[in-house]
Structures are given as C-alpha cells and as structure tokens.
Chain A
C-alpha cells in the first residue's frame, strides 16, 4: 500500500517543504479566481520569494465560521497531517485580516467535475475512469487507515495537475475517528453533498462509518461515466427528492440522452460500482479490496498518459471558472452552497440498478419512515405518503407523465428559478422554495 512504501522516506520531507512557504500575505500575488463557495474563494497565485512558483490559495471567510473555529482548525490540521501523493495537502495556513489563507499546490487541470462539464458532458471513457478511480482508492485507503472519513467524495473534489497527478481535495467536512470529542467511530451529523450521500448517512440516526465514503465513491464512478451524478436532474434538495421518489419511479434517465444512448460499460465496471452501492454498509468492500478488483487490473502504468489525454483540449481552469461564473446555473458544483441545503433536508432511499447502470429511487416502507428533524417547521413528509413498498396504480399512471416530464425538467427548473426570483423566494427560506417547486412540478404534471 502506498503509505508503506513511504515509510523509509525522510519523515521531515513534507514538513521542511512546508516551512519554506512564507506565512505572510505580502509574499503572494493573486492572479485569478478559480473557485468560489459560500464561505471560501480559491485563487491562483504566485509565491514571490519561492521563484514565483504557482500555488492555489483557499481564502476562508472566518466571519462565517463559528467562534471556536473547530471546523477550520480540523480542516487545516488534516491537510497538514495527511501526506500522500493522492491527497491535496496544504503548504501552510495563516490568517489575513478576517480570512484564513490555506496555501496549496496549484492543480492546473481543475476538478474532474469541471473537466466533464466543459469537455465531456456525456462522461469519460472507461479506461480514464479506471485510471482516476484507482488513484482515488489509494487516497481513500490511506485516509481510512489514518482514521479519517472524507465524507464528500465526488468529481468536484477530485483534482488533476498538469502532470496528470490525481488528488482528492477538500477536507472541509471530513472527520477523524480519533478525535476524542467523538465517542466512537460512528457519526451522526449530516454532512456532504446530496447525490453522493450514502443512505446510512442520510438516515443518520443509525450513524455511519467508513463505508459511507465507499458509497460516495460508487456514485462518483457513475458521475464520471454518465457526466452527472444519478438523480441530479432533480434539484439538490433531499426533502424534494423524498417527495418525488415516494410517488414516482424513474427508470433510466441517462439512456434518454443521445450520446450516452449507445454507451456500453464493461461488466467489470458495472460489477465494481454495484459492490460500492450495496445498501448494507458492511457488505461494501474496503478500498484495499476494491483496488484488487478486475476493473483496475488493466490501468497500471497508463494512468498519467490517459489523464493527460483527458486534459488535452480542456480549457485552463481559470478560464473554465470564468465562463462558469457568467453562467447562471452552476448548481451542483458549489459544494459550500449545496452543503448548506443539506443541513435541513431529509431523504429517500435508492438502489443500484446494475443492468441500467444507474441508481433507482426506492419507495420507503412504513417502518422506515425516517425524518431528520433539524428544524421544527418543515413540511410534513409522512402525510403525503400512502402505500408501503408497493407501487400503486396511481403511481404507475403517473409514471408515464413523469417520464415525459423528465426531459423537460431542466426547463422547469429554470422556470421555477424565475418564479422564485420574481417572488423574492430567497428570503423565504428553504421550506417555502421547496413547496413552490413541488407545486410547480405537480402543476406541470397535470397539464
């Protein structure tokens, strides 16, 4: 395993490199904005005293953090204490007025999510997926061995540098099982980005462990294969997802899209993803086991070559960011903002459909009506739900109209967005917005 190979390395190597980076904002010159979330902005910059080497600086707005800075401290320390070729570490971090600057290596290729969005809308070729995922498994293997959960694995957090090196990034919501404030390896807070979240994370009353990362890894595989995560044609709100998946069943969304229509995936790929998306966390394989899966057998040595191929013709990361920011609809990429929605959401179930190579929503049974109540005034979910597990006649007839609707869902979302903007919906809060979305969708289905 990767960390063992590094046992003989000079232990201070990583640290002495860190010490060279100055803890003074005057030593850095910011060139471009390359990413933006609710409480942080990422810049491309140069470090002047270090021969103007290029770095990325994540500037976290501390006014938006809680006063004990526990999360910020944990993220910064995690990035210092993790040292692995497939994990994006930090050179150093220091405060600049009311911001925390985390200086990191610059990953010129940007995130796989943005690469796909700009150049591979229908997903990456399978050998490239294997090459990327293999690197991520190495990162996960190391991470889990260190007692860390990443808790937000997705293409948006997989970065590539100019050499084709693949690194897992963003430890903003990660957790350590060794932190004494956590009594055991089970966590009960809801964190992450909705589409990639494992059922047991969402049904957080049961707690979750390392296997939740494996689920997200499986979803990420689907995301790379199809160009978007499953169910992502729905807005990233779990409560809305719940409403819809309770009533309707989506069959394959993807094969409707032209380019992926004839896309075939190998059996070993489908099998690998299937293992990750097992509903029973204990049955999901460990990263080490996955690395031995036949899907990863053939990508040895080809990694960098393939990834460089992926990068060819993709516009530079700062350009992609600019064109994205001028685009209004950048939902799904902004982890900070989607993460916020997650906080007061709730969930449905879903299961992996190996044949169709995607995720199907599952109707919750009566005895597993899970409601994560973080806010008292949210809409009542149980009330709307009628049968347990069986698809009633009404649902079947609705299925047809939903299949039709699905194609225009993006249009609908834009329309809803306009309605919300008109009504000043942002100030009304999440509940209000979701109600409106539901009304819109139901109205449309009557048409």
Chain B
C-alpha cells in the first residue's frame, strides 16, 4: 500500500472499520458513565461519527450512490474479525441516533456478497449465539426495535432461521407478540411470521417435528387470546401456513383434529368481520378434506344448519369471486355430509 502518498485522502473503508472496532472495544470495556468523563465522551462521539460514516458508505447519501467495491472492502474487514459482534453487544452503550445507524449497518451487511458468497451468513453460522442476544432484545424496551430489525435481516439466511426454529426461543415468541407495547409486539409478530413462512423446507421440517406442542400452544395462547390483534394475526398466519403446499402433511393432520375444528368454529362466530374471513380460509380446509375422520364429520353434521347460515353471511368488503366460489363449495360439502354409523 502506498499510504504515505495519500495522507490527505479520506480513510479507506478498511481503516474506518478498524478504527470503529478499536473504539467499540473501548466502549465495551468502559463502565457506564456515572461520572462525567471527558475523554470517554470524546471517544464515544468519535465512535458515533464513524458508525454514521460506515452507514453512508453502505447506503450512499444524497450526493452519491454506494460503490460496490468500497462496500466489499468494508464488509471484508467487518467479518475478518469480530466487529459485528462488538457492534451488537455495544448497542446499549450507543446513543439513540447511533443505535439506528448501527442497526442499518448490521441489516445491510446481511446482503453483501464477496465473490458471490454471503459472508455474513458464514459468520453468523459460527457465531450463532448472537441470535440469542438479538432475541432477548424483545424483553428490553430500549433495544427491542433495533435488535428486532437486525434479527429479521439475519433470518433471511436459512441456516440462521433454522437455528431459531429449532431452539427454545420459539416458545418465547408466543409471549413477545402479546406484549402490551404495540411497537414491540408487532415487531415480534413480524419476525414470528417471517420465521414460519420464509424458508419453506425448513418450516415444513420444523412443523412436522414439533406439531404437537406448536399447534397446542398456537391454539391456546394465540387463537383464543383475549387480545383482538393477536387472534387476528394468528388466524391469518395459520391460514398462510396451512395453505402452503410445502406444509400439506401438517395441514392434513391439523384438519383432522376436533379440538382444532372447535377453535376455528368459534373464530367463525367472532363479531370481527376480518377475523371471520380469515377463519373461513382455515375452516374450508376442514370441510374440503376428503378423508374426514368420523368425529369431524359428526361435529360438522351436528352444526350443519348453523354453519351454513354463518358462512353464507360472511362477505368480504370487496367483491371476491374466489371467496364466493370457496363459500359455495364449502356449503355444498357440508350439506352433502352424511354420518356413517
């Protein structure tokens, strides 16, 4: 390198990342600022500025678009050592604005490629415990939205999503998405949905391995929740999951359970039209199942009149031919049911 010739030149991305790393190590070690410490403050201001600069390299700014070569250098240096980890664990020590920049950097790095390799994915596979830190963020009001946004980017990598699906963290999401703070609850719900829909084969594998506890919790904690938004999101997501071709065997098992049917029938009776409509999309699978167990047939026949009337009354706000034809078919199916003694 001919560094000497270019003293006036702005720092290279590599140098910027190194300098950031040094300051992050400092921030990580230094205690909380109980007393005014001018020297520490100075370093933290410098760190904030560096993080901001890094973000501008990755995203460009009002005058310039990002340069892929520069981004590549930055990415390479970031993952050469443990800068990503430092940035994540030091987040609580950064100020409000800098936290947002840091979040955007972490998010952006997930998609950067070096010789077509997703370098962030390789790094996270070796440092998968970082996901534990990010998920725990949902329990901290100050960090939840930042860690949540990072997390959603990280689970774009299939192996990372698989790690979380296979972990005990999945159970915690049932609590997170019902937190009273809407910002955080809805963020957790978005992540939960992403985990259960993004990587088809991984999701199918997770569901078939875990469908006993998963759907039991899903029913008891989400579908019968007292919280309207939880019920509505849950029944919508359930429909998305069950209607996905790759989950067909899970779906068949789901619609063969009378407990599940009961819950869906109750959702059909909700006063919320939106919930009724989403519930119908799941309910129709019970009716359409060509190998209905006898107890399912029994429930449907016993409630036939009520169900037909209820379903006939469900009408989406906008005209929807598909919905109408589904309705007709479900009603026909239920009407034709006979009990085999």
Contacts and interface: CB of A to CB of B under 8 A. Distances in A.
Interface residues of B, number: 41
| Interface SS majority for chain B | helix
Contacts of A97: 228
Nearest to A11: B95
A7 B95 contact: yes
A92 B181 contact: yes
Interface string A229-243: 000000000000000
B182 A100 contact: yes
B183 A76 contact: yes
Nearest to B274: A63
B186 A6 contact: no
Interface in A170-187: 177-178, 180
Contact of B104 (A6, A24, A72, A147): A147
Given A94-B181, A180-B152, A144 B62 contact: yes
Contacts of A19: 141
B59 A67 contact: no
Among B62, B108, B156, residue most surrounded by chain A Cβ atoms (within 10 Å): B62
Interface stretch (B15-23, B203-211, B229-237, B326-334): B229-237
Nearest to B228: A98
B229 A178 contact: no
A95 B98 CA distance: 30
Contacts, number: 100
A23 B153 CA distance: 29
B232 A67 contact: yes
Given A63-B272, A98-B228, A180-B107, A147 B59 contact: yes
Interface in A71-114: 72-73, 76-77, 80-81, 83, 92-95, 97-98, 100
B100 to A, nearest CB: 6
A146 B94 CA distance: 16
B126 to A, nearest CB: 23
Interface in B152-192: 152-153, 156, 180-183, 186-187, 189-190
Given A63-B272, A95-B227, A178-B107, A15 B62 contact: no
A95 B182 contact: yes
Contacts of B111: 180
Contacts of A13: 96
A9 interface: yes
A412 interface: no
A120 interface: no
Interface string A7-35: 11101111100110001100000000000
A275 to B, nearest CB: 15
A69 interface: yes
Contacts of B274: 63, 67
A348 B193 CA distance: 40
A286 interface: yes
A68 interface: yes
B181 A3 contact: no
B100 A146 contact: yes
A72 B229 CA distance: 12
Among B41, B187, B233, B274, residue most surrounded by chain A Cβ atoms (within 10 Å): B274
Contact of B97 (A7, A68, A70, A77): A7
Contacts of B268: none
B67 to A, nearest CB: 15
Contact of A95 (B97, B229, B236): B229
Contact of A68 (B59, B145, B227, B236): B236
Contacts of B156: 180
Given A72-B186, A94-B181, A180-B152, A8 B228 contact: no
A81 B100 contact: yes
B273 interface: yes
A7 B45 contact: yes
A122 to B, nearest CB: 36
Contact of B233 (A7, A23, A67, A83): A67
Given A7-B97, A69-B233, A177-B59, A76 B182 contact: yes
A6 B142 contact: no
A98 B228 CA distance: 6
A81 B146 CA distance: 9
Given A94-B181, A177-B59, A62 B95 contact: no
A62 B186 contact: no
B186 A73 contact: yes
Interface in A25-80: 62-63, 67-70, 72-73, 76-77, 80
Contact of B229 (A7, A24, A62, A92): A62
A254 interface: no
A144 B145 CA distance: 20
A196 B300 CA distance: 55
A24 B180 CA distance: 8
Interface string B260-283: 000000000000111000100000
Contacts of B190: 68, 70, 73
B278 A68 contact: no
Contacts of B233: 67-69
B112 interface: no
A12 B142 contact: yes
Contact of B193 (A23, A68, A80): A68
A150 to B, nearest CB: 15
Given A11-B96, A23-B180, A95-B182, A81 B272 contact: no
Given A178-B59, A178-B107, 20 more contacts: A7-B45, A9-B95, A11-B94, A12-B142, A23-B180, A62-B232, A63-B273, A69-B229, A72-B186, A77-B145, A77-B186, A77-B187, A92-B182, A93-B183, A94-B182, A95-B229, A98-B272, A146-B100, A178-B104, A180-B107
5 shortest A-B CB distances, which residue pairs? A11-B95, A67-B236, A11-B96, A73-B186, A23-B180
16 contacts: A3-B97, A11-B95, A14-B96, A23-B181, A62-B229, A69-B186, A76-B186, A80-B183, A81-B100, A94-B180, A95-B228, A100-B229, A178-B59, A178-B107, A180-B153, A286-B62
